Structure formats: C-alpha cells, structure tokens
A and B are shown apart, each in its own frame.
Chain A
Amino acid sequence: MTKETITLTVNGQTVETRAEPRELLIHVLREQLEITGPHIGCETSHCGACTVDIDGRSVKSCTMFAIQAQGAEITTIEGLGNPDKLHVLQEKFKEHHGLQCGFCTPGMITRAHRLLKENPNPTEEEVRMGIAGNLCRCTGYQNIVKSIMAAAAELNQPETAA
C-alpha cells in the first residue's frame, strides 16, 4: 500500500513526512521525525508514556494513526521546555522529586500541561483524576501530584502589572 504525504505542525514547526496509513503516530514521531520525548511504554493504550498534545487535547499517540493527525498542531515534551529553559512543570518535577527513572515523565508532564490549561487551579483529587491515564512504576505518584500542584501555584502567581 502506498505511502501518503502527511503534514504536521510539531512544536511550532511545519514538517512533511511520508507514511503508510497503518503507521501509528508514535512511530512516525520517534522514527521519522526523531522526536523521541514521547515514549513507548505499553503500546496498548494503557500507560500514557506516549502522550502528546494534539490540537489542545492529550492523546496517546500509540492509539492514533499518523494520517489521522493530518494537518494537526502537535506539542511534545520537546516543545514545552529545553535544558536551558525548563518549563515550570519540569522545574517543579525536578524540585519535588516528581521522577525517578524518568520514563513516564514526558507523557506525565505533557498531560499535566493540558490539565493545567483546562483547570489552572485544580484540587489534589482533580490532579489525580487528571493524570489517571498515565502510569508510573517508580514514584508512587505522591511527588508527581506535589510537583503538579506546585506548578499550578507558581503559574497562578499574579503577574506584576505591566
């Protein structure tokens, strides 16, 4: 079956690639576009390590064909921050030990980013429900929740009026 041309905007850059319709978005991101932040944990829609943001929704990119994302705006962990300028969530995960091995972290933070956009001032319960689709084998979640709450608090600080 022939490859199709797929145009995506990934982390603000428009990219074109070719893929068979059966190729999953996570594989196209990692193998063709070399965006390896989103991880493959389970490949069965359970763990959330592959979470990316597509047109303002958190999506498990192992459960979407790349061709379904034709024309979409995609944000991955690479688009949120970088080693020189960490995103607030990355800062807070670092500060509050929100990660151990770090395998779940890109998906966790990408999900938390959307959660805080939709609900800037969540309760602890809402954070827990909001990240229910992301599994972590290491931390026991306690520090992940703390990190997200701390990021929310920081983001909610009133900015000094310009």
Chain B
Amino acid sequence: MIPGRFEYHQPDSLAAAVGLLSELGEDARVIAGGHSLIPMMKLRLAMPEHLVDLKAIDTLKHINVADGVVRIGAMTTQAELIGSAELQLAAPIVKETSLQIADPQIRYQGTIGGNVANGDPGNDMPALMQALDASFTLHGPGGARDVKARDFYEAAYFTARDDLEILTEVSFPTCTGGYAYEKQKRKIGDYATAAAAVLLTKAADGSCSHAAIALTNLADTPVFCDAASTHLMQSGVSADSIAHAVQSCISDIEPVEDNRGPAEFKKHAAAIILKRSLETAWSRA
C-alpha cells in the first residue's frame, strides 16, 4: 500500500496556498487531515503529483460564534468540534454528528473542510450542513465566493468547488431548537447504511416554526428533503405528519445496492432512523 510519488508543499498563508494551486494546476491536490485522501492514494485511486498541505495556515483554524452566526475554519478537526463548549451551546447537533464519524484517532485528524469538500456521499457532515443551511466560502485566484451547502453537491466526488479553489470556512445560523443526527451503521468506524440530520423548532403555540431534514449515503449526494421539511412546518408535528414526512423523504432517495445491503433494505433502514430522529428532535424542541 505505497502511494504514488508526489511533491509536498506546506504554504503558511492562504494567499500562498491559492497561488500554489493556480501555478501547479490540475496535478495538485489540497491535503487537510488526509483521512479520506491518503486511503485513496494508497489504493492509487488518487495520484496527485503535488500535495498542498493546509496545516500551517492558522487562519483556517477557528470556531467563532457572533451575531447568531457560527463560523468554523476549514482546518478545524472533528475532535475540536466535539470539544468546543461554545459550539455545543450554539449548535449541539454538530457534536452529535461528529461523534458518529469514524473513531477517536480519525477524528483527531479529519477536518470539517475535508469532510464537506471531499464529495463522498458517505461523509456525514454534508447532510448536516444542508440541514443547517450552511454556506461554504471558497477562495480561488479570482477572489472569494460563497456557495450554499444545498447547492454544492453535484454527484459523487463532484462539487461546485473549482479545482483551483480552497474551501476556507463553513458558516451557518446558530441552531438551538430540537435536533437529532441518527446513523445506522454496521459497526463503529463504518460509513452510514442510512443517516438523517433533523432540526425542528417548536413555536410558543406548539406549532413547528422551522424544520429541516437531510440524509447521508442514500443517493450519490446528500439529500435535502424540502417537501418533507415544508410539510412539517405547515401541518405541525404529529404521528401522522411524521409518517407522511418519512414517506416523502423515502421518495427523495435513490440508494444503490452495495456491501451494506440492497436498495430496499436501505430504504427500510432510512425509514426507521428518520422516524426515530424526527421524534427525538421534536422531544428536544
């Protein structure tokens, strides 16, 4: 399991990293925690000629909460997300999701930027980001732009990010209503057979003032379930509306058969974790 040969670069500023990517062009790849990229390189499914390591760029490592907005630097690790008391207050679903990713060793290395930029439908952060209605900030040779998580994913490993752009920050509104991230997996360290990120806010009159549901590993991109979310906001949360929302979500997914089971089984598992996550989120709302 020896990766192909490459040259290693460790720029110490974002400008230098963007400059390197422009100069080296499509032969270069960014490396963050390396815990998706290095396994791919060992299998020679990825053979970049240059790796641009972002680890020395301090401006990519932060968790800030201000004016109702959470901003997280791309190089923040999953372990740092789990350990942040500030984030736990501003958006507790982030910790709940992060704890479902891989195992402790991998969470010390894996970054939020790498997880959302990777484009693997098995990654857990993308659906979470869609539920949170997050934006991703991308820096390229032409400057910076923001792309909504809900518009970012095009197909497995294809995203709205241009090869020359670096994802620098993830931002989303604080979210202190009901929440749940439920994941069905075969064992710890496995990607999801099915997983759901759910946010539900209960208004003072008991109605559902905000709902957002997004799913992991049930299509070749994360799936934001717009119709089901809208339905819960319009009809309120009840056993009936949950059953309706679950059916609506199932009609949005396109799971494929793999070593985690046939498509029908995945729909079955998805329906169970969806019901569970909707009930949990509402009980916490």
Chain A contacts to B: CB under 8 angstroms:
1, 4, 20-22, 24, 43-46, 48, 51, 57-60, 62-65, 67-68, 70, 111, 115, 129-133
A46:B38 contact, CB within 8 angstroms? no
B35's contact among A1, A45, A111, A115, by CB below 8 Å, is which? A45
B106:A133 contact, CB within 8 angstroms? yes
Q: A22 CA to B8 CA in the complex, in Å?
A: 9
Shortest distance in angstroms between A162's beta carbon and chain B's nearest beta carbon? 32
Q: A133 CA to B5 CA in the complex, in Å?
A: 28
Q: A1-B5, A22-B4, A63-B109 are in contact. Are A57 and B189 (CB under 8 A)?
A: no
Report chain A residues within 8 Å CB of B104.
58, 111, 115, 129-133
Which chain B residues in 9-64 approach chain A with CB under 8 Å? Answer: 10, 31, 34-35, 38-39, 41-42, 51, 53, 55
B35:A21 contact, CB within 8 angstroms? no
B39:A63 contact, CB within 8 angstroms? yes
Report chain B residues within 8 Å CB of A67.
8
Other than A48-B105, A58-B104, give 20 A-B pairs with Cβ distance below 8 A: A1-B6, A4-B8, A20-B5, A22-B2, A22-B4, A24-B2, A24-B38, A44-B39, A45-B35, A45-B106, A46-B189, A64-B109, A65-B38, A67-B8, A70-B10, A111-B104, A111-B105, A130-B104, A132-B188, A133-B104
Q: A105 CA to B172 CA in the complex, in Å?
A: 42
Please give me the 4 A-B residue pairs with the lowest Cβ-Cβ distance, nearest first.
Answer: A133-B103, A21-B8, A57-B108, A132-B188
With both beta carbons as reference points, the residue of chain A lying nearest to B103 in the complex is identified as: A133
Q: A21-B51, A45-B39, A64-B34 are in contact. Are A59 and B6 (CB under 8 A)?
A: no
B189's contact among A4, A43, A68, A132, by CB below 8 Å, is which? A132
Q: A50 CA to B6 CA in the complex, in Å?
A: 23
11 residue pairs of the A-B complex, CB under 8 angstroms, read A21-B8, A22-B2, A24-B38, A46-B189, A48-B103, A48-B105, A51-B105, A60-B106, A63-B34, A111-B105, A133-B103
A44:B1 contact, CB within 8 angstroms? yes
Shortest distance in angstroms between B89's beta carbon and chain A's nearest beta carbon? 21
With both beta carbons as reference points, the residue of chain A lying nearest to B77 in the complex is identified as: A57
Report chain A residues within 8 Å CB of B188.
129, 132-133
Shortest distance in angstroms between B166's beta carbon and chain A's nearest beta carbon? 18
Shortest distance in angstroms between A107's beta carbon and chain B's nearest beta carbon? 9
Which chain B residues in 62-105 approach chain A with CB under 8 Å? Answer: 79, 102-105
A22's contact among B6, B79, B103, B105, by CB below 8 Å, is which? B6
Report chain A residues within 8 Å CB of B42.
43-44
Report chain B residues within 8 Å CB of A44.
1, 39, 42
B205 in the interface (beta carbon within 8 A) = no
B103's contact among A1, A20, A57, A132, by CB below 8 Å, is which? A132
B105:A60 contact, CB within 8 angstroms? yes
With both beta carbons as reference points, the residue of chain B lying nearest to A115 in the complex is identified as: B104
B240 in the interface (beta carbon within 8 A) = no
With both beta carbons as reference points, the residue of chain A lying nearest to B10 in the complex is identified as: A70
Report chain A residues within 8 Å CB of B258.
none
Q: A133 CA to B103 CA in the complex, in Å?
A: 5
Q: A131 CA to B51 CA in the complex, in Å?
A: 31
B3 in the interface (beta carbon within 8 A) = yes
Q: A131 CA to B188 CA in the complex, in Å?
A: 10
Q: A139 CA to B31 CA in the complex, in Å?
A: 37
Q: A129 CA to B189 CA in the complex, in Å?
A: 11
A63:B38 contact, CB within 8 angstroms? yes
Q: A46-B189, A111-B104, A132-B188 are in contact. Are A64 and B38 (CB under 8 A)?
A: yes
Q: A130 CA to B188 CA in the complex, in Å?
A: 11
A57:B34 contact, CB within 8 angstroms? no
Q: A24 CA to B53 CA in the complex, in Å?
A: 15
Q: A22-B5, A45-B39, A133-B102 are in contact. Are A68 and B34 (CB under 8 A)?
A: yes
With both beta carbons as reference points, the residue of chain B lying nearest to A22 in the complex is identified as: B3
Report chain A residues within 8 Å CB of B109.
57, 59, 63-64
Report chain A residues within 8 Å CB of B51.
21
Q: A61 CA to B79 CA in the complex, in Å?
A: 17
Report chain B residues within 8 Å CB of A46.
189
Report chain A residues within 8 Å CB of B106.
45, 60, 63, 133
